[in-house]
Amino acid sequence: MSAIFSDIHFQSLLVLWLAIAIDAVWQWPERTHPLTLVRFLVRQMGKKVLPSADYGPTQHYISGALAALVLLSPLIACLAILVYMAQYPIFFEAVIMVGLLDFGYQRHQYKKVLASVGRNKKSLAREMVATITARQCKNLTDIGIAKAAIESLWLKFLYIYCGVIFYFIVTGPIGALIYRLLLLTSWQWHYRTPAMRHFAQLRCERWSQF
């Protein structure tokens, strides 16, 4: 029995199921979530290093790539050292995965949008759905708002939930962390924002379709 619990594959499976179970029954408050801090840092970094429109696309490409590298590399390196040098790495892996599988907040946003539509508060519903999608929402009907919210929830489920699980299985917690942070960065520095069209180009555009 002790050999089973000490097996690295069993421990990884245990971490994954624990993170999935916690996400299903508990939502980490957004104000204290580590990814909230990362989002803030990414937005501030983008504001500080974004070149002006006078610079060419190449300068924007370089600035965007270096900004992501400088901001994310120290965090990833510190967590990787912490996991691989810890006496009980399974504990830190579990904490990382619980933080990365942050889908409870997405479900909460979706329910709020549908509740606003149900109460016929179209203006509020449009404002709320505009914060979770990268599309024009001013002229959406009730059906359009609901459809946009459903599409956003489904795509985020694939990217945030399934994507994190896939990279955890294939590459481990640090690989899942790198994927999630790059995904977060691509959403904050969105290529559909005119000023960041080239700045965000080196992040995969297919991550930012919504």
Determine the residue type at 149.
A
What letter does residue 195 receive in the DSSP assignment? G
In a domain, 41, yes or no: no
Contact 135, 193 (CB under 8 A): no
**Domain extent for 98:** 57-208
Q: How many domains does the chain have?
A: 1
How would you write the pLDDT of the chain (210 residues) with one tens digit per residue? 444 445 566 788 888 899 999 988 888 888 888 998 998 988 888 777 766 666 666 766 777 777 788 888 999 999 999 888 888 888 889 999 999 988 877 888 888 888 887 788 878 888 887 777 766 777 777 788 888 888 888 888 999 899 999 999 999 999 999 999 988 888 877 666 655 555 556 554 444 444
User: Which residue reads 């939502």 in tokens?
Assistant: 27
Would 192 be classed as within a structural domain? yes
Residue 26 inside a domain? The answer is no
Per-residue tokens: 103: 């889908």
Are 133 and 146 in contact by the 8 Å Cβ rule? The answer is no
**Is residue 43 in some structural domain?**
no
The verdict on residue 89 lying in a domain is yes
Q: Considering the entire predicted model, what is its pTM? A: 0.81
